[in-house]
Structure 1
Amino acid sequence: MTDPTSSYPPGFVWGVSTSAYQIEGAAAEDGRGASIWDVRCRTQGGVVNGDTGDVACDHYHRMPEDVALMKGLGVDAYRFSVSWPRVLPRGKGAVNEAGLDFYDRLIDRLLEAGIEPWLCLYHWDLPQALQDMGGWSARDCAGWYADYAALCARRYGDRVKRWITFNEFSVFTLFGYAIPWAAPGIVDRAQHLRAIHHVNLAHGAGVDVLRDLVPGASIGAIHNRQVVIPETDTPENRAAASLLDEHWNLVFCDPQILGHYPPQTAAAIEPYVQAGDMARIARPVDWFGLNHYGPIFAKADPARSWGYGWGDAPPDSPTHGVGWAIFPDAFRDELLTIQRRYRLPIVVTENGCGGSDTVSPDGAVHDPHRINYLTIYNAAMRDAMAQGADVQGYFVWSLLDNFEWGSGYGQRFGIVHVDFQTLARTPKDSARWYAELIRSAKA
């Protein structure tokens, strides 16, 4: 049998990922402003059970404990996001020093623990004050983002060299402006198209800011990519899958890396493109960040703004704890597709498995479903690497059970269990499995 750790190259980066709104809490402390997700959580039906990120995992106060957990795992790197409204409560203008100080403490604590900080500038928590001015549907938002990126670059660039402009562009634009599953919960095709283009402009501006202000910066962006498969093989479902594939997999990667929009979207978005925009968007990056869980099954849905909707996986598909289908071959194929199409080193910045994990009477958290998922997906990743995919790192989603957006606290993706009443942390069996994988890969 092949050694499961034999094909990880020297320098391969092992990490864990989180995001600010999902773990920090302290939503109204130390001068933090409101984000669009604070508002979404207080919108009727916006989040399951009316859950909020007000406390979340209380990482804002328990950060040293969480860094110690990471050190115990033996990870090389921690991918986190800065809360834009924590450092700029109105999104622009007056700076909140208390918010900036928190990330200073986090970065310094990580470096003391021998863990490299990977800083993501945007993980969906747009300041509500900017949303009130049009948010991503306003072209000015790209400039507001560039100013925010410059603030972070000047403050943290002496210690942080790994930078991420955005996390999962297509999720927060599609679900925020076309299918109302996320903040700001708008359904408007024109606003969706404008948001796509303005976020692309913001990405390009952010890359330029980081190049100018952070010597030696290694810059990437994180794209969620999954093959889109018609639920059933009909002309209507094939057409739906084709357009969803563009909106999900191509409208950010292609302009940012290849310099053009995919064909169906290009015509629709043309009214919002100004002279020189594509050159502003296609700025050189150092690596491609991939978040991947499983395929999307698409179906025609005339009730939706673009005429497509989410379908169901084949009924005999294996699933994990939250009902998502398990298709490791799709992960392998996606890595190879990205390598061929974009010709960049790849970092898997999210991969993981949800469940309803509980603390057992023995005091442990047994999650064999997650260990199985991570085992077979890591095997698929190694297969892709053996076939030529230049994968340089792997980050588990997530370090902690956390606020899972519209699902609230009902889905647990962490390798560390969080009791949301006491906030006690308990490493799961998968945490020990991951620590052993890292140890063995480095041996």
Structure 2
Amino acid sequence: ALMKEIGLQAYRFSINWARILPDGIGAVNQEGIRFYKELIEELKKNEIEPYITLYHWELPYELYKKGGFMNPEFVEWFGYYAKVVAENFSDQVKYFFTFNEPQCFIGLGFLNGEHAPGLKVPVKDTFLMAHHVLMAHGRAVQMLRQYAKQNIEIGYAPTGTMSYPATEKEEDIEAARQHLFGINEDSNNWTWNVAWWSDPILKGQYPEEGMERYREYLPNIKESDLKLISEPIDFYGQNIYNGKCIRMGNDGKPEEVKRYEGFPKTAMGWPITPECLYWGPKFLYERYQKPIYITENGLSCHDVISLDGKVHDPNRIDFLARYLGQVKKAKEDGVDIRGYFQWSLMDNFEWACGYNERFGLIYVDYNTQKRILKDSAYWYQTTIKTNGENL
């Protein structure tokens, strides 16, 4: 009802793998299937298009005990899960994403230990995990297509810090482009880049610069692996929250323009850089030639219930107006952007930050579980109604 009130046209949600397959493989839990069927039915009834994400960081514990991403069998486990999803939901759902932000669940989960399971494993192991994840993506694409009950569309939703040029000068634009697709020099933080995670899927090969730089850490990468990883997809999702300002240095290499003291930031301390939603999709579309969805974008604010019982969040309205204005501009300039998903519908459990960070258009009073539409939800409602004419 709240989604309907805001006027949402689409809702992206993930399926918890263990909820429908308690052991990750094998027996299907019909209760879990029913839960999602009811959700999908309710969305369709309210004319909201469901978009399913197969994996948003919930690995069945039974598979984790068998080595999880380290186990080469992970590719087939994930394929089986995709088959079960296609068999049960593809009659009602047309759009699917395989993985959400592999950079995070490998980088934060296994490289620096910030997110669950909180491990710091050798760098070499994380490259093997990443390779298995990309192969699993390809296997899922095959299985979804094979078992789909209608003509479905499939995509992928990585994340990344975008790069935007300091000026409109050609050399700065080129510097930003190079920076966006460059490879992180710090192997202890290697997961934060775009090309390593997207080139294999959309160009059929890992970036040469990375193959060079990371040579000592790489698993054995076979031609057949790359063929599987690059199974054709229909669209490309990108989670975009912020970007870095880049100019061409005197040495002919891209350099980051330092932010001034007091640069605008969100409550989470993330920089506010609307330009990233123009240049990011533009560069991605140029390189990968696939229709683009902005699969996540939003901010955390210090939201509170005011004396009048409402939640006033002018910062969020200002942020969204600036960022969506850039999406509109990119679309007008020929970038094939198919949709934008705001993160998030409601305040929720924000990974390592718990309930401290509020990203929702809807305020959740955790004490009473009461939901209150924030001012931004009403602003968003107008934006949807006018298809962005108010921007």
Q: TM-score, length-normalised on structure 2?
A: 0.86
Contact residue 225 and residue 334 of structure 1 kept, 8 A: no
Contact residue 163 and residue 276 of structure 2 kept, 8 A: no
**Partner letter of residue 206 of structure 1?**
A
C-alpha separation in 1, matches of 2:184 and 2:156: 28
Counterpart residue number, 1:364: 310
Offset of residue 265 of structure 1: 3.3
Please say if 1:132 is aligned against 2:78: no
The DSSP-based 3-state class of the residue aligned with 2:300 is coil
C-alpha distance after superposition, 1:106-147 (max 9, x if no partner):
011111111111011000011111111111111111110110
Superposition pairs of residues 225-304 of structure 1, within 5 angstroms: 225-227=160-162, 240=185, 247-266=192-211, 267-268=215-216, 270-295=218-243
Please say if 1:75 is aligned against 2:8: yes
Contact residue 321 and residue 369 of structure 1 kept, 8 A: no
- Closer, same or farther in 2 for the Cα pair 1:241/1:381, shift >3 Å? farther
The DSSP-based 3-state class of the residue aligned with 1:248 is coil
The DSSP-based 3-state class of the residue aligned with 1:397 is coil
RMSD: 2.4
Offset of residue 389 of structure 1: 1.2
Contact residue 246 and residue 262 of structure 1 kept, 8 A: no
Which stretches in structure 2 are left out of the alignment for 5+ residues?
165-182, 246-257
Contact residue 197 and residue 269 of structure 1 kept, 8 A: no
Offset of residue 295 of structure 1: 2.5
C-alpha separation in 2, matches of 1:98 and 1:395: 28
Counterpart residue number, 1:98: 31
C-alpha separation in 2, matches of 1:433 and 1:200: 38
C-alpha distance after superposition, 1:39-64 (max 9, x if no partner):
xxxxxxxxxxxxxxxxxxxxxxxxxx
The DSSP-based 3-state class of the residue aligned with 1:409 is coil
1:168 to 101, 105, 108: 101
The DSSP-based 3-state class of the residue aligned with 2:86 is helix
Please say if 1:146 is aligned against 2:79: yes
Contact residue 159 and residue 238 of structure 2 kept, 8 A: yes
Q: TM-score, length-normalised on structure 1?
A: 0.76
- Closer, same or farther in 2 for the Cα pair 1:317/1:247, shift >3 Å? same
C-alpha separation in 2, matches of 1:162 and 1:117: 7
User: Which aligned segments of 4 or more residues in structure 1 are displaced greater than 6 angstroms?
Assistant: none
Contact residue 71 and residue 113 of structure 1 kept, 8 A: yes
Contact residue 163 and residue 280 of structure 2 kept, 8 A: no
**Partner letter of residue 228 of structure 2?**
R
Superposition pairs of residues 330-345 of structure 1, within 5 angstroms: 330-345=276-291
Contact residue 193 and residue 268 of structure 1 kept, 8 A: no
Count of matched residue positions in the alignment of Structure 1 and Structure 2: 357
Superposition pairs of residues 31-430 of structure 1, within 5 angstroms: 68-187=1-120, 188-214=122-148, 215-227=150-162, 240=185, 247-266=192-211, 267-268=215-216, 270-295=218-243, 314-430=260-376
Contact residue 240 and residue 276 of structure 2 kept, 8 A: no
C-alpha distance after superposition, 1:282-309 (max 9, x if no partner):
0111111011011269xxxxxxxxxxxx
Offset of residue 390 of structure 1: 0.9
The DSSP-based 3-state class of the residue aligned with 2:227 is helix
C-alpha separation in 2, matches of 1:413 and 1:272: 41
Offset of residue 247 of structure 1: 4.2
The DSSP-based 3-state class of the residue aligned with 2:158 is strand
Contact residue 347 and residue 364 of structure 2 kept, 8 A: yes
Which stretches in structure 1 are left out of the alignment for 5+ residues?
1-67, 230-237, 298-311
Contact residue 251 and residue 265 of structure 1 kept, 8 A: yes
**Partner letter of residue 345 of structure 2?**
L
Contact residue 134 and residue 201 of structure 2 kept, 8 A: yes
- Closer, same or farther in 2 for the Cα pair 1:85/1:136, shift >3 Å? same
Counterpart residue number, 2:180: none
**Partner letter of residue 161 of structure 1?**
K
Contact residue 346 and residue 363 of structure 2 kept, 8 A: yes
Offset of residue 434 of structure 1: 0.3
Contact residue 123 and residue 188 of structure 2 kept, 8 A: no
- Closer, same or farther in 2 for the Cα pair 1:98/1:406, shift >3 Å? same
Identity %, equivalent residues: 38
C-alpha separation in 2, matches of 1:149 and 1:296: 36
The DSSP-based 3-state class of the residue aligned with 2:104 is helix
C-alpha separation in 2, matches of 1:328 and 1:174: 25
C-alpha separation in 2, matches of 1:276 and 1:418: 48
Offset of residue 276 of structure 1: 0.6
C-alpha separation in 2, matches of 1:335 and 1:373: 18
Does 119-128 or 243-252 show the bigger shift?
A: 243-252
